Amino acid sequence: MLPDLWPSGWLRGIGDTVPVWPLSEKFGQDESRIIPPHEADPSLVGVQTEVSWDAPGVSVPLSPWFSRRAALAVLLFACLCLPASAATYAGRVVAIADGDTLTVLDADQRQHKIRLAGIDAPEKRQPWGQRARQSLGELVFGRVVQIEVSKKDRYGRAIGRVRVDGMDVNLELLRRGLAWHYTTYAREQPASEREAYAQAERQARAGRQGLWSDERPIAPWDYRKQRRP
* pLDDT > 70? residue 77: no
Q: What is the mean pLDDT of residues 40-58?
A: 42
Q: pLDDT tier at 12 (50, 70, 90 boundaries)?
A: very low
Looking at per-residue pLDDT, the higher value among 1 and 202 belongs to: 202
pLDDT in tens, 98-109: 999 999 999 999
Higher pLDDT, 11 or 64: 64
Task: Note if 115 is an active site residue.
Answer: yes
The correct CATH number of 87-227 out of 3.40.50.450, 3.40.50.720, 3.30.1330.50, 2.40.50.90 is 2.40.50.90
209 pLDDT above the threshold of 90: yes
d(CA 59, CA 52): 7
Q: Which of 12, 123, 163, 172 is catalytic?
A: 123
For residue 59, is pLDDT > 60? no
State yes or no: pLDDT of 214 exceeds 80. yes
Active-site residue (options: 12, 133, 148, 157): 157
Domain extents in the chain? 1-84, 87-227
pTM comes to 0.63
Q: Is 157 a catalytic residue?
A: yes
Which residue among the candidates 115, 161, 175, 176 is catalytic per the annotation? 115
pLDDT band at residue 227 under the 50/70/90 scheme: confident
For the chain, the DSSP string reads -PPP-BTTB--B-TT---------S-B-SSTTSBPPHHHH-GGGTT-----EEEETTEEEEPPTT--HHHHHHHHHHHHHHSPPPPEEEEEEEEEEEETTEEEEE-TTS-EEEEEETTEEPPPTTSTTHHHHHHHHHHHHTTSEEEEEEEEE-TTSPEEEEEEETTEEHHHHHHHTT-SEE-GGGGGGS-HHHHHHHHHHHHHHHHTT-GGGGSSSPPPHHHHHHHH--
Residue 78, pLDDT score: 43
Q: What is the mean pLDDT of residues 206-219?
A: 97
Which of 126, 98, 159, 102 minimizes the C-alpha distance to 225? 126
